[in-house]
Amino acid sequence: MFDFSVITQWIDQLLRGVMPDAAALVVECVLIGLALLLGYAVIALALIYVERKVCAWFQCRLGPNRVGPFGLLQSVADMIKMLIKEIIEIKHVDRFLFGLAPYIVIIASVAAFSCLPFAKGLQVLDFNVGIFFLVAVSSIGIVGILLAGWASNNKYSLIGAMRSGAQMISYELSIGLSILTMVVLSGTLQITELVEGQADGWFLFKGHLPALIAFVVYLVAGTAETNRGPFDLPEADSELTAGYHTEYSGMHFGFFYLAEYLNMFIVAGVAATLFLGGWMPLHVPGWEGFNEVMDYIPSLLWFLGKVGVMIFVIMWFKWTFPRLRIDQLLRLEWKYLLPINLLNLLLMVVVVVYKLHF
Amino acid sequence: MNISIQETVFFLLAAVIVVFSVLTVTTKRILRSATYLLFVLFATAGIYFQLDYSFLGAVQLTIYAGGIIILYVFSILLTNQQADEKLEKLRNSKVLAGAIAAVAGVGITLFLLLTHSFGPSRLEGGEVPVKVIGTALMGTDKYQYLLPFEVISILLLACIIGGIMIARKR
């Protein structure tokens, strides 16, 4: 299996050879930042295209098909449009907070994005509390949404922001608890170790029943966390025009748009890492030949493939289910998901203590 | 001049903390104040990460930045009818009381800073593993904290029940 740390170490050696260590460190930080932002933008463009195609497919339409082959360049054209659009200045708003809000949202999203293990040796941040850090930074995005809604000085934006805040705070509990369930099974918080622990079977199979419950709860909560349908009532367009980003235009709106798609990618990436083995190929203990064949598929492809499947499921939700009301949404979380999650955590502890897992 | 990257980062974070702390208490708009406080908490988390104590850094981010600040913003949005209205000027007696409190605070901090002998500025042997933190929190031996942990849990439970009681009163 190809290890990407060979490449990163080669770059590191090269830089240290031509400049002092401190300068090499700074240059590496800049390079990593650029690579992250580039990956972020490219993935967002791809996701927007995929979303439109999947949506079209569910609605028996064709979707974008004029710009480039199969409409592949459609989202690139959209990006150029977004970049050259005017950013409208609105009167009677707190300019500072209005301008700041999209950056908080996008920074939280990029920080969470940088924790994902893309392939073997291809990961930016790897703390020993990795998955906890990821949850921590992704929760900061709520501040940006609340500030955006308030600073817009518009009642629809404010209602959208309050809904979004209530929703994200509630569903973060479920996300945290279902991640905790898997941490109990794996015994580590570090993302590389989480992935390594699945070399002899993915956690979804190793943890059987409690892992399956945690997986379903995580998917529901993750969809809600990204404000996507059927939980998209913060930006329910028929009631609130566009929710918290109604007043934003040009690239400021673009930031919210990007962050929304990338948050979906992050949720799918965490689901793939925790339950489906991250970049780890499908290994079945005992089937040596099969495992060897699976190892020939590059780890990057494994990760992106799993994330792609998860994203497809999340999109499937969006284009199939009708939107919930706010009280139904909060009842679902506090009366059903949270108790199920707590019991499931207990079940997982019992399973791990009595070694009932594979 | 021989400043390492570690020191540069530290001074940068310290400057951010100082500047935004001052801005937090001097701004006239309450939501801006909450936002500046958010930056102070970010920079504090940055210092924890710099100390190689990423657990505490992540806790700082999730509890303070992701929890407390959001609660602040929520309560400002829900309670303050004129959240965007600027505060009125303080009365002289309040300014005087504030000045005395500030001088006393500076005095105590300086006294502690100058008399306390600080340990090594970085942890020996790298990061503290999460397992060590976990057993220290959940153990009953010396230097383990199960009892304080449970006491705090009961305190928080009492707070939750009290909050519900107050909220339900019509």
Contact A94 B74 (CB under 8 A): no
Nearest to A127 among B5, B54, B62 (CB): B54
ipTM above threshold 0.90: no
Could you read off the pLDDT of A92-151 as tens digits, one per residue? 777 788 888 888 888 888 888 888 888 777 788 777 888 888 888 888 888 888 888 888
| B130–A189 CB contact, under 8 Å | yes
Mean pLDDT, chain B, integer: 83
**Across B81-108, average pLDDT:** 79
CB atoms A97 and B67 under 8 Å: no
Q: Which residues of B touch A169 (CB under 8 A)?
A: 70
CA-nearest of A318, A319, A337 to A328 is A337
CB contact (8 A) between residue B55 and residue A128: yes
How much is the pLDDT for B81? 63
Residue A143 and residue B69: Cα distance in Å, rounded? Answer: 8
Residue A161 Cα, gap to closest chain B Cα (Å): 10
pLDDT score for A92: 76
Tell me the residue type at A348: M
CA triplet A220, A225, A228: central angle to 5 degrees?
Answer: 80
How big is the CA angle at B67 (ends A266 and B76), to the nearest 5 degrees?
120
* CA nearest neighbour of A119 among A224, A8, A237: A8
Given this model, what pLDDT does residue B1 score? 46
Is pLDDT at B105 greater than 90 in this prediction?
A: yes
pTM, two decimal places: 0.86
d(CA A82, CA A160): 23
Cβ within 8 Å, pair B70-A165? yes
Q: pLDDT by residue (tens digit) across B140-159?
A: 888 888 888 899 999 999 99
| Contact residues on chain A for B28, CB-CB shorter than 8 A | none
The token pair at A174 is 């479920």
User: Would you call B35 and A139 a contact, using CB atoms and an 8 Å cutoff?
Assistant: no
Confidence of residue B121 (pLDDT cuts 50, 70, 90): low
pLDDT tens by residue, A303-315: 888 898 989 988 8
Tokens of A321: 């289910």
Among B6, B70, B72, B132, the residue to mutate for chain A (most A Cβ within 10 A): B70
**Sorting pLDDT into bands at 50, 70 and 90, what band is A239?**
low
Chain A nearest C-alpha distance from B53 (Å): 10
Higher pLDDT, A124 or B103: B103
Q: Give the Cα-Cα-Cα angle B74, B79, B84 (nearest 5 degrees).
A: 85
pLDDT of B122 higher than 50: yes
Indicate if the pLDDT at residue B88 is higher than 70.
no
- Residues B62-72 have a mean pLDDT of 85
Using CA atoms, how far apart are residues A157 and B53, in angstroms rounded to an integer? 38
Q: Transcribe A111-160 into DSSP letters.
A: HHHTTS--BTTB-S---TTHHHHHHHHHTTHHHHHHHHHHHTT-HHHHHH
- Asked if the model's pLDDT at residue A238 lies above 70, the reply is no
CA–chain centroid gap for A35, Å, is: 18
Cα A287 → chain centroid: 33
pLDDT for A257 equals 83
- Mean pLDDT is lowest, of A249-253, A330-334, A337-341, B99-103, for A249-253
- For tokens 């306390």, name the residue: B116
Which of A86, A36, A76 has the alpha carbon at shortest distance from A52? A76
From CA A17, how far away is CA B57, in angstroms rounded?
Answer: 33
Locate A139 and state its tokens: 């929760």
For residue B17, give every residue at least 6 positions away whose Cβ sits within 8 Å of its Cβ, in sequence order, or none.
B40, B43, B44, B47
User: Given a cut of 70, is residue A43 above it in pLDDT?
Assistant: yes
User: Given an 8 Å threshold on Cβ–Cβ distance, is A146 in contact with B54?
Assistant: no
Burial of A164 per CB tally in 10 Å (0-12, 13-18, 19+): buried
User: What pLDDT digit, counting tens, does each position of B12-38 carry?
Assistant: 999 999 999 998 888 878 888 888 998
Residue of B nearest to A97 (CA): B32
Average pLDDT of chain A, as a whole number: 83
**Tokens 């305190």 sit at which residue?**
B155
- Tell whether the model's pLDDT for residue A11 goes beyond 60: yes
Cβ within 8 Å of residue A310, ≥6 positions away: A219, A267, A268, A269, A271, A272, A276
pLDDT single digits (tens) A263-310? 889 999 989 888 888 788 887 777 778 778 877 888 888 888 889 898
The Cα A278–Cα B56 span in angstroms is: 26
Chain B residues contacting A via beta carbons under 8 Å: 4-5, 29, 31-32, 35, 38, 54-55, 57-59, 61-62, 65-67, 69-70, 73-74, 77-78, 83-84, 127, 129-130
Residue B16: per-residue pLDDT: 92
Which percentage of chain B shows pLDDT scores above 70? 87
A239 HSE (CA, 13 A, CB side): 13
CB A275 within 8 A of CB A175: no
Condensed to tens digits (0 to 9), the pLDDT of residues A144-170 reads: 888 888 887 777 888 888 888 888 888
To the nearest whole angstrom, how far is the Cα of B46 from the nearest Cα of chain A?
12
Between B38, B61, B77, which is nearest A150 by CB?
A: B77
Q: How many CA atoms lie within 13 A of A89 on its CB side?
A: 3
pLDDT, residue B110, reads 92
Interface with chain B: mutation pick from A131, A164, A189, highest number of B CBs within 10 Å: A189
Which of B74, B79, B123, B128 to substitute to test the interface with A, most A CBs within 10 Å? B74
Tokens matching residue A80: 């150029």
Residue A107's Cβ-side half-sphere holds a number of Cα atoms within 13 Å equal to 10
Token pair in block for residue A219: 């998917």
- Interface touch B61/A22, C-beta < 8 Å: no
Q: What are phi and psi of B80, to 5 degrees?
A: -90, 110
Residues in chain A within 8 Å Cβ distance of B78: 162
CA–CA distances in Å: residue A228 to residues A61, A148, A236, A257: 21, 18, 10, 12
- DSSP 3-state of A175: helix
Chain B residues in contact with A95 by the CB 8 A cut-off are: none
Closest residue on chain B to A26 (Cα): B5
Which tokens sit at A180?
A: 């905790």
- Closest-CA distance, A308 to chain B, in angstroms, reads 28
